[in-house]
Structures are given as C-alpha cells and as structure tokens.
Structure 1
Amino acid sequence: MSHQTTLPSLSLIENIEIRNDLSFLSCNYESNPDLIERAREFVQLQYSKLGYVGYDPEFDRQFDLNGYSRYFIAVNHSEEIVATSRVLTRGPFGLPIEYSLRNDTNEKTILENGNIAEMNSFAASSMAAGSKVLSYSTDFLLEQGFSSTYGLYDIERPAMGKLYNRIGAVHSELHPYKIYFPSYGKVDHGSMTPTIWGIQVSDVAKIIAKKSHK
C-alpha cells in the first residue's frame, strides 16, 4: 500500500541529504512517529515478499518508544520509502535479539551488560539507497560509541550476511551459536518453521577503515 502523505517538517528530522533524487532522513519515534510507522509497514512488506511470516508490529514498536531507536530512511520523489535501517539502544525492553532462543540449547539468548545496541529493520527496494542508509547507520554507531552492536542474518540467505560484512560486521565470537524466534519464520508444508539466524557484531576498526577508503 503506497502512502502519499506530505513529508514531515524538516525541523523534526536530522541529517538531511538529497542525492540522486532521493531524500535521506534520520529520526526517532518521538520526533516523527508517522514516518516510522510507514517505515515499519515497508519493512513488513519487503520481508513478506521473501516469504517471512509472524511479524508483530506491537512487539517491534515497543523498542522505539522513549527515544531508544534511530531510523535512517530513504524516500523517493513520490514520497515513497525505498530503504530503511534502524539502530536500537538497549532500553527497558532490552533488545529484540534477547527475545530469541539459542538453536543449540533452546535457552534464551543472553547478551552481555554494557552500552550495546542492535541494528535491524534493514529493507530496501533499491540497493543503492539501502547501502546509503546502512552507511548512515554505521556513522551513528561510531558517534554513539557503543561497545558492541549486534545484527542478524538468515543463514539461508548468506548474501545478506556478506552485505553486513561490507559495512564492518563480523561473526560474533562471543555468541557463535545460531538463534531463532519461535513465532517468526516461513511456512513450509502448511506449518511455520522458525528461521535460523546467525549473529554478527560491529568491528569498529573495520568500519573506520572502510569509511576512510571511500
């Protein structure tokens, strides 16, 4: 479903850039809930096209409240979202990854304490725009100085993991196991099979090196 609402006031959005007929925007839920809800619908639509089921917007939304998320969004000249990425700071609800189960033990995934974050909600109908919003996301990681920023990739889609590698993510040595969310996956022979995810983590030195070579 396409939304043709007017773009929000620029005073409510940070890090504006216009490039190749695309507007790159950055905001949190408090500054622009309408835009973020549109971004949430876009993410759900893009993942449903790939066959994923079980997306729960209420579960997803709780991590945005009280300023704990930062979105990076690309919008085209028709005001349609073409790419999104989100960085979540751990808040009162923790991080989404902490609601998963380990595939090896079926125990709850437990992350370390500290100033950690999670990058997720990446979706793109234009990979050029997608690469740019990911670049903005890594800029934000460096600015915030997180000790670790985690991300997930579907092990059946290794290309996505390689994309994250190119922006400075590496396989987590602290969390080398695979994980799954019991209610999120794909339908196989009439029943839902949870997707198995690998865990990646930001490598700050690698991120800086890649940015310095651009």
Structure 2
Amino acid sequence: MSHLLLTRKNSFLESKVDFSSPEEVAEIKAFIQAIFSRKGYTKSSSTNVDLDRWSTWFCVRGEAGEILAAMRVVEKRPYNFLPIEQAIICDETPLRRYAVENYNTADWNNVAFSNTREGLKAAKQCFALAARFCIEKNYDMVYGFYDLKNPAIVKLYSKVGILPSEIFPKLVYFPGSTLNGTNVELTIIEITKQTLQNIVSKI
C-alpha cells in the first residue's frame, strides 16, 4: 500500500493515505465523524471494528488545507470482514449477515463532504480518486451502502451510475446506529468495473 500520496488538481489538494500515516488518518476520521454527527447520525460501537490495516483513505482539501471531502476503501481478505459483512440483514430471524466470497473485492464507505458547493465538487473529485485506485487494483466488484434518507449521498451516487446491489438486495443495519433517534437502514450498493470507469470519465 502507498504511505501518503499528495496531488494538486484544480484548486484542490488530493491525498491517498494508509495506516502508516496515523496522524492524517486520525484527522480524516475526525472530519468524517463531524460530518455524520452534524447530519444527526449516531454510530454504534459495532461500526468501530478496526479495519485500518486493509484500508486506504482518500481526502480532498481546499486551498487553505481544510478537508472538504473524504472516504475510505477497505480491501477484502480471507481474514477480515468488510463493513457490508458486519451489518445485520433487516427483518431476518434468526439474525443473519451477508458474506462476500470473492477476495478480489473491496468496500467503499465513510463518504463525507462539507455541505457547500466546494464540498460537493470535492466529493466528486474524491470519488474519482477512489475510483482510479479501485481500477488500478483491478477489483472484480466494489461494494458499499447508503442511507436512502440522505438525499445528498443518494443523488451523488445516482449521478455517477452507482446502483443498489442485486447480489445483496435486502436492507441492513448496525444495532444502535441512528439518524435523529431513528434506526438507520442501509441499502447495499455495487460498483462494477464499468461504473468505476464511468466515474473517472464523468468527473
């Protein structure tokens, strides 16, 4: 994995970083947490599984160095569980989780951006940065999820052709994760190789 890669594009500064740069990872995590908290999300402890060893973080900063957008890609390995594998399937008794059998896959998650015009531009650029990374890694499929009650994320995903998963069609949740006190139910998404190419070409 790369340690830290900085690239200037347009008026933004892009960075790609892994667990070997703990200070920047911590800053990115704090930004993501602040954005989610501002929107009314409370994350449960079940989402705090340490996946840093298999994670690459992406960040886009403004001219003053402030973070405008960030996200994470987690690589699947035989000895880890992606976030979509950790979530519980809604309305299932007994409780069940999905399993990803293909190890040449990844999970695209923790997408957060400032609620400004610059933040939206930075989010799109962050998407392209992550998509290029996934193309270089040649993943067979990239998964993730979004909350249908978060229209900004849904609109952004839809614009670049990211669709709900056909392989994992049911809603999932993390016990204790809420939005303004209401349980959060998440839609799993699939990002194909073609969609990754489309993201890079459109943005």
**2:109 pairs with 1:116:** no
**CA positional deviation for 1:206:** 3.1
Name the SS of the counterpart of 2:81 in structure 1.
coil
Instruction: Give the 3-state SS of the residue equivalent to 1:123 in structure 2.
Output: strand
1:182 equivalenced with 2:185 (yes/no): no
Gaps of 5+ in 2: none
Percent sequence identity over aligned pairs: 24
Match among 9, 32, 38 for residue 27 of structure 2 = 38
- TM-score normalised according to structure 2 size: 0.86
Deviations 1:9-61 (A, max 9, x none): xx9522512421x211111111x11001000010000000110113549825x
Matched, 1:81 2:67: yes
Shift of 1:122: 0.8
Q: Which residue of 2 aligns with 1:64?
A: 52
State the alpha-carbon separation in 1 of the partners of residues 160 and 7 from structure 2.
21
Shift in Å, 1:187: 4.0
CA radius of gyration, larger in = 1
Secondary structure of residue in 2 paired with 1:86: strand
- Give 1:207 deviation, angstroms: 3.0
Q: Aligned with 1:149: secondary structure?
A: strand
Q: CA RMSD in A?
A: 2.3
For CA contacts below 8 A with separation 6 or more, give which structure has more relative contact order: 2
**Structure 2 counterpart SS, 1:108:** coil
Q: Following the alignment from structure 2 to structure 1, what is the Cα–Cα distance between the partners of residues 129 and 37? A: 25
Alignment correspondent of 1:25: 15
Report the CA distance between 1:94 and its aligned residue: 1.2
Name the structure 1 match of 2:185.
196
Displaced runs of 4+ in structure 1, greater than 4 A? Answer: 55-58
SS of 1:84's equivalent in the other structure is strand
Asked if 1 retains the 8 angstrom alpha-carbon contact of 2:73 and 2:106, the reply is yes
Q: Is the partner of 2:149 in helix, strand or coil?
A: coil
Distance 1:43 1:213, change over 3 A: closer
TM value normalised by structure 1: 0.82
Quick one: distance in 1 between partners of 2:128 and 2:111? 12
Answering whether residue 105 of structure 2 is matched by residue 105 of structure 1, we say no
**Cα 1:23/1:213, change in 2 over 3 Å:** closer
Aligned twin of 2:166? 173
Given candidates 4, 7, 18, the residue that maps to 1:13 is: 4
Does the Cα contact within 8 Å between 1:75 and 1:82 map onto a contact in 2?
yes
1:94 — aligned with what? 81
Query: SS where residue 156 of structure 1 aligns?
Result: coil
CA distance in 2, matches of 1:24, 1:212: 17
SS at match of 2:14: strand
Contact 2:127 2:199 in 1 (8 A): no
Taking the aligned partners of 2:38 and 2:167, their CA distance within structure 1 comes to: 32
Residue from 133, 145, 155 that aligns with 2:126: 133
Shift of 1:212: 4.1
* Aligned counterpart in structure 1 of residue 144 of structure 2, from 151, 154, 164: 151
